[in-house]
Amino acid sequence: MQAAPFPSGETNAGGPDEGPVEGKMIPTEKTEELLLAIWLLVLIAFLLLRWEMVYLVLPAVLLFLTAVLFFRPGMKVELERIIPHNRFLEGSELEVIIRIRSSERIPGLKIREDLPEGLELIEGEKEWVVSLSGGETREFRYKVRVKRGIHKFNWVELSYRDPFGFFHFTKKFDLYTELIGVPIITDVPTPYSTRGTKITVGALPSPRVGEGVEFHAIREYQPGDPLRIINWKATARTGKIMANEYESERKVDVIFIVDASYTGELVFDHLVRAAASLMLNALNEGTSFGLLLAEDVPLWVRPDYGKRHFFKCIDFLSTAKPDRNNMIAYQVEHLIRSHFPPRAQLVYLSPLLTEESREALKIMASFGYNVVVISPNPYTAVEPKGREEELALKLLSLQRKAVLKKMASYGVIIDWDVRKPLKAAIAEVIGL
């Protein structure tokens, strides 16, 4: 497996001056009952004219005032959430640290972490109860498993109840942390060639001839050819000036088109992982690439080079979700007419389950583009629960093979059994 490097560590801190969104002292039921009892005793003393009964309420009043005056903390704390960095491969485990430092004594403090739904808690807790003394620093750790997508921590909540149970105090501190679960990236071969595509200087071999490093053939010298390519041995042997001909080094603009239709929901994660892996392959080859994420509102990233561009596309793939987009053919045609570079290599990632997705492939071919289709088989992602379901899946797979056979004239179709590595599926079709 190959994985791209990630940025360095990240720490988020918050304190009493950094925008607590909540901080209220709320009486408990015990306080309400106590106040009601005091009021009734005073009322009875007034009705019976037995004013010495008022002294019965003084201990309760004294206890209540003691709780309010001496056991109400100001929540003067500093909070930090520490994670190693902000990008993680999906499925990886992450340790999160909550660090708290108190400027005052706070007995019985409850700390509650804002754990995003997309993170699975696998070790530790997201709530803690601790007693802090003035100047003390404590750390709390827990582990989560990261899923693909953007995960946002927004706050840490501190709550406190006085020892007598008269009131509880709650305050939320804004403590924003964002991390991204990126798709798993694997080592895959390049599933396309440069035949008929844009010509630039680069590392992928092309059948077009010119100056390069791979020897191609010997031909007669032509006016304008550089003298360094003259083959003197062949010239002496034939009596004519002969020159070496080399296979040029070329590159292509590659456009990755990801079908985000909800019909392919079962294999959508596989689509995203395949796109990310092929992008890393393009990055390593120094190839410029763009991305069309065909969602309900399409996302278009123009072709570019480099790690910054790679991470930008990976971030978009990380947040992609299947939706009810039934306009991929229109989106593809519109972008071909307005934004796609001419003679680019198209890599279309789609299970080809809908007529709309198949129409999109026909449109790509009709404009003269070379197309490679990475098509994960959704029926290989289902584990049959019985004999009947197993037969149904076989019938659906046969029907799918017939459909793909009809579509083979529009591009190179890689029918991917998702139980196997994408590298093997590509090698079977491309013949690597």
Please report, for the domain that includes residue 386, its CATH number.
3.40.50
Question: pTM of the entire structure?
Answer: 0.70
Count of CB atoms situated within 10 Å of the CB of 99: 16
> Residue 5: inside a domain, yes or no?
no
Which of these ranges, 325-329, 345-349, 355-359, has the smallest mean pLDDT? 325-329
Look up residue 84 and give its DSSP letter. S
Considering 149, 182, 215, which residue would you say is the last residue of a domain? 182
What's the rounded Cα separation, in Å, for the pair 223 and 218?
Answer: 15
pLDDT above 70 covers a percentage of the chain that reads: 79
Looking at the structure, do residues 237 and 317 belong to the same domain, yes or no?
no
Domain count, the chain: 3
Looking at the structure, do residues 210 and 298 belong to the same domain, yes or no?
no
Q: How confident is the model at residue 286 (pLDDT cuts 50, 70, 90)?
A: confident
**Residue 214: predicted pLDDT:** 58
> Residue 198: inside a domain, yes or no?
no
> Residue 229: inside a domain, yes or no?
yes
**Residue 187: predicted pLDDT:** 93
What's the rounded Cα separation, in Å, for the pair 268 and 290?
Answer: 19
Looking at the structure, do residues 244 and 269 belong to the same domain, yes or no?
no
| Tokens describing residue 159 | 């709550």
335 versus 134: the higher-pLDDT residue is: 335
What's the rounded Cα separation, in Å, for the pair 366 and 376?
Answer: 23
Looking at the structure, do residues 160 and 239 belong to the same domain, yes or no?
no
What's the rounded Cα separation, in Å, for the pair 101 and 280?
Answer: 43
- Diameter of the chain by CA atoms? 139
Looking at the structure, do residues 399 and 289 belong to the same domain, yes or no?
yes
Q: Which of 382, 401, 402 is nearest to 392 (CA)?
A: 382
Looking at the structure, do residues 132 and 171 belong to the same domain, yes or no?
yes
> Residue 195: inside a domain, yes or no?
no
> Residue 193: inside a domain, yes or no?
no
Looking at the structure, do residues 308 and 396 belong to the same domain, yes or no?
yes
Helix, strand, or coil (residue 351): coil
Looking at the structure, do residues 97 and 173 belong to the same domain, yes or no?
yes
| Tokens describing residue 210 | 């010119």
Looking at the structure, do residues 173 and 242 belong to the same domain, yes or no?
no
Q: What is the pLDDT of residues 130-149, one digit of tens each?
A: 988 888 999 999 999 999 99
**Residue 68: predicted pLDDT:** 65
> Residue 384: inside a domain, yes or no?
yes
Helix, strand, or coil (residue 26): strand
**Residue 121: predicted pLDDT:** 95
167 versus 25: the higher-pLDDT residue is: 167
Asked if the model's pLDDT at residue 276 lies above 80, the reply is yes
Looking at the structure, do residues 90 and 159 belong to the same domain, yes or no?
yes
Sequence-ordered list of residues with C-beta below 8 angstroms from that of 32, at least 6 positions apart, any chain: none
Check if the beta carbon of residue 82 is closer than 8 Å to that of residue 100: no
Mean pLDDT over the full length of the chain: 83
Crossing angle of helices 355-366/387-407, nearest 10°? 20
CATH of the domain at 108: 2.60.40.10
Helix, strand, or coil (residue 255): strand
Looking at the structure, do residues 178 and 284 belong to the same domain, yes or no?
no
Looking at the structure, do residues 35 and 171 belong to the same domain, yes or no?
yes
> Residue 226: inside a domain, yes or no?
yes
Q: How confident is the model at residue 32 (pLDDT cuts 50, 70, 90)?
A: low
Which of these ranges, 251-255, 323-327, 377-381, 412-416, has the smallest mean pLDDT? 323-327
**Residue 74: predicted pLDDT:** 65
Q: How far is CA 413 from CA 187, 206, 255, 348, 432, in A?
A: 20, 21, 16, 9, 15
Q: What is the torsional sign of CA 378, 379, 381, 385?
A: positive
> Residue 2: inside a domain, yes or no?
no
Q: How far is CA 354 from CA 113, 225, 301, 351, 397, in A?
A: 43, 53, 25, 8, 15
Domain that holds residue 320: 253-430
105 versus 337: the higher-pLDDT residue is: 337
What's the rounded Cα separation, in Å, for the pair 270 and 205?
Answer: 29
Sequence-ordered list of residues with C-beta below 8 angstroms from that of 88, at least 6 positions apart, any chain: 6, 94, 146, 179, 180, 181, 182
